[in-house]
Structure 1
Amino acid sequence: MAARLIAAGYGLSVWNRTVAKTAPLAALGAEVVADKKAVAHCSTVFTMVSTTDDLKAILFAADGLLGTEARPQRIVDMSSISDAGSAEIRETLTASGVAYLSAPVSGNAKVAKAGKLLVVASGSKADYDAIQPLLGAMARAVTYVGEGERARVWKIAHNTMFGVMTQTLCEVTLLAEKAGIPRHLFLEAMNQSVLGSMFTRYKSPALVNLDFTTTFTPKLLLKDMELGLAAARAHGVVMPTASTARDGLLALSHQYPGDIDFSVLLVELARAAGMKLVPENVAVSDGLA
C-alpha cells in the first residue's frame, strides 16, 4: 500500500515496529524513521495494526505518536478493530485537535500489491474528500459510508462473512472431492458459476495445492469474528450461522496458533470426514494477475 503511494508520486515517512520491514520502502525512496514521533509532522498519518490496544499504544503511549508537540492534521486508521474501541480513539484524538478517519480495507497483501484493495471509510466528509486521492492510489475502489464508526461496522460485517464463506467453501469442496471430483476441477467450475467471486478465485490455489502460506491467520480471523458477534449482540441481530463458524474457527486457532493461513481449515474438516488430503500440484489462477 505504501509502495503504491510512492509510485503515485507522494512523499512518505515510514515507521514500523519491525524495522526490517521498511527496507523495501527505503529502496523506493521513502524516509525511514526510527521513532514514530518523527511522522507527526506529516499532514496525514496512516496506521495499520492488529488490535485496538496496539493502535492505542502507538498513538497514546508515553512514546506514542502524540507524545510530542507536533500534531498531524489527521490520522487515517486502516486496521480491523472494534467500533467501540475506534470511537474511544476518535474522542481522544478530537480532543487533541487531530481529525480521525476509519478506513479499513478488504484484501490481503497479494491483493494490495495487485492494486485491487477495496477501502471503506467513515468520519468527516471534508477529511475524507481531502484524502480520497491518497486512498484511491492504494485501491481499486473507495467507498465513503458516512460519519463516525460506520466503516468499522462494515469491516466487522465483512470479515464475519469471510469466516462463514471460508467454512462453507471448505465444506463443499470436500463434499465434491469425496464424491470423486478433483478439487481443482470442482473449484474451476465453481469460480465460473454465479457463486464464483474474487474470494473463491484467490483461495483456490491454496485449497487445490494445500499451500497454506500465511495471508491471514486463524487467530486474527477469530478476533474479527468475535468482533462481529459482539456487534450483533449490541445491535440485537441473530447470527446463528456466524456463531457456528466462529466455534469451528476457535477450535482451528487452538490447533494452529501460529503463522499459517486460515485456509488450513480444509485439512481439519477433511480429517473429520475421514479424508487424507494430498496436494494436486495443479496451476490454478487466483484471478489477481
Structure 2
Amino acid sequence: MAHVTQDPPRVGWIGTGRMGFQLAARLLDAGYDVAVHNRTRAKAEPLTERGATVVDRPVDLADRDVVFTMVSASPDLQAVTTGPGGLLTSPDAAPGVLIDSSTVSTGTSALVREEAARRGTDFLAAPVSGNPKVIAAGGLTIAVSGSREVFGRIEPLLAALGRGVTYVGEDEAARLVKIAHNVFLGVVTQSLAEITVLAEKGGVSRAAFLEFLNDSVMGSAYTRYKSPALVNLDFKPTFTMPLLRKDLELGLSAARELEVPMPLAAATAQLVASAVGAGHVDEDFAALILEQARNSGITLVAEDVSVDDGLSPRDRAVGR
C-alpha cells in the first residue's frame, strides 16, 4: 500500500514525450532518484545518461514515493494508472503521491483521484504551462489542486520543475485553470494571426508589425515568443493543432456545464478544426497564420530575419 513520502522522495515519471522528457531531466539534474516509463521505451532511454532507471511497465513504479504522469489525453491517463500493468494495479504497493501533469478532463481526473484514494495514494492535479524551450529556460509554471496539506509537502519537489507553482484549490480546480489557459492560448493565437495577415496584406512586413506590437502595451511574453515562428514560418512543433483542438473542446464542454457563453472560443475552435482538416496536424499550432493567409487570398513566404523570442533562463513562462 501507499507509504510515507521520504525526503528527498524517490520519484517515478510516466510519459517522456517532448515535455515529460525535459521535466524528468530537470529532476535528475537536481539530484533526485528518478525511474521512468514510456510507452515507447527508446524515448526514455537517453535519460539513463543522466542517472535515470527505465522500467517496462507503469506498475513497476508503484513502490516510489512520488510518481508523475504526463500523457497526451484522458484515455492515456486511465491506461497508465488503472489499465493492465497500470501504476495503481499492484497488489503489494502503491505510490505515496500521484501527481498528474497532463491536460485531461475533470471527469477523468476525478476517476483517477478516486482510484488513488482507494489505494491510499494522495493525488494532486498539476497541469503545466510551458514547452520544452520554456522548461530549459526555467520558466515553467504549474497550477496544483488537491489536498493543501499534501501540496505543502510536495511543493519543494514541484518547485524544482520551474519558476512558479500556484495552489488553486481542492479536487479538480487545476484542470479548469489549465483548460481556461489553453482556450486563451487558442483565441490569442488566432487573433494574432488575423492582425498580422491584415498588416501584411496592407504592405507591412510581419517582422516590422510584430516588433511594433511586442514593444507596445498589447505585446506580451507570449506574442514575443511566437514572433519568430510567424515571421520565419518555422512551425517545428511545441504544441500541435490536434492537441489545441482537444483543449478547446474541453473548454467548451466546461462552458456548457457551467453555463458560461464563450463565443470567441467557439469560433476559434471551428477555425482550429478547419486547420486540422486542411492537414495541419504535425506542425506547431502557430500554423494558424497559414490558414488565415489562405483565406485572405495571399501566400506567405519566410522573411528570414533574426527575431528575438524573449526567452532567457530568467524570463517568465510564456505558455506554449
TM-score range, shorter chain: over 0.9
Aligned to 2:229: 206
Structure 2 distance, partners of 1:242, 1:35, is 38
Aligned to 1:264: 287
Aligned to 2:51: 29
For 2:83, the aligned partner's letter is A
Structure 1 distance, partners of 2:209, 2:46, is 38
1:91 pairs, out of 114, 123, 128, with: 114
Structure 1 SS opposite 2:251:
helix
In the alignment of these two chains, the number of paired residues is: 289
Using the size of structure 1 for normalisation, the TM-score is: 0.97
What is the identity percentage for the equivalent residue pairs of Structure 1 and Structure 2? Answer: 50
Q: CA deviation at 1:266?
A: 0.5
Q: What pairs with 1:156-167 in structure 2 (closer than 5 Å)? A: 156-167=179-190
Q: CA deviation at 1:24?
A: 2.7
1:49·1:79 contact (CA, 8 Å) conserved in 2? yes
For 2:99, the aligned partner's letter is V
Structure 2 distance, partners of 1:114, 1:277, is 30
Q: CA deviation at 1:257?
A: 5.2
Using the size of structure 2 for normalisation, the TM-score is: 0.88
Structure 1 distance, partners of 2:80, 2:173, is 23
Q: State the Cα deviation string for residues 77-113 of structure 1 (Å, max 9, x = none).
A: 0000111221121112112211100000011121112
For 1:176, the aligned partner's letter is A
Q: CA deviation at 1:157?
A: 0.5
Q: CA deviation at 1:38?
A: 1.6
For 1:3, the aligned partner's letter is A
Structure 2 distance, partners of 1:261, 1:173, is 17
Mean Cα deviation higher: 110-119 or 152-161: 110-119
Runs of 4+ with deviation above 4 angstroms: none
Q: CA deviation at 1:269?
A: 0.7
Structure 1 distance, partners of 2:168, 2:282, is 33
1:218·1:256 contact (CA, 8 Å) conserved in 2? no
Structure 1 distance, partners of 2:26, 2:57, is 23
Structure 2 distance, partners of 1:5, 1:192, is 35
Q: What pairs with 1:123-138 in structure 2 (closer than 5 Å)? A: 123-138=146-161
Structure 1 distance, partners of 2:47, 2:157, is 17
Q: State the Cα deviation string for residues 37-96 of structure 1 (Å, max 9, x = none).
A: 221111000000011110001001121112212110010000001112211211121122
- 1:10 and 2:29 aligned: no
Q: State the Cα deviation string for residues 224-273 of structure 1 (Å, max 9, x = none).
A: 00000000010010101111011101111111253211111111110111
Mean Cα deviation higher: 115-124 or 252-261: 252-261
Structure 2: where are the runs of 5+ without partners?
A: 1-22, 313-320
1:146 pairs, out of 162, 169, 181, with: 169
Mean Cα deviation higher: 82-91 or 213-222: 82-91
- 1:101 and 2:124 aligned: yes
Structure 1: where are the runs of 5+ without partners?
A: none
Aligned to 2:259: 236
Structure 1 distance, partners of 2:305, 2:43, is 32
Mean Cα deviation higher: 152-161 or 23-32: 23-32
Aligned alpha-carbon RMSD (Å): 1.0
Q: State the Cα deviation string for residues 190-228 of structure 1 (Å, max 9, x = none).
A: 111111112111111110000111111110000000000
Aligned to 1:281: 304
For 1:250, the aligned partner's letter is A
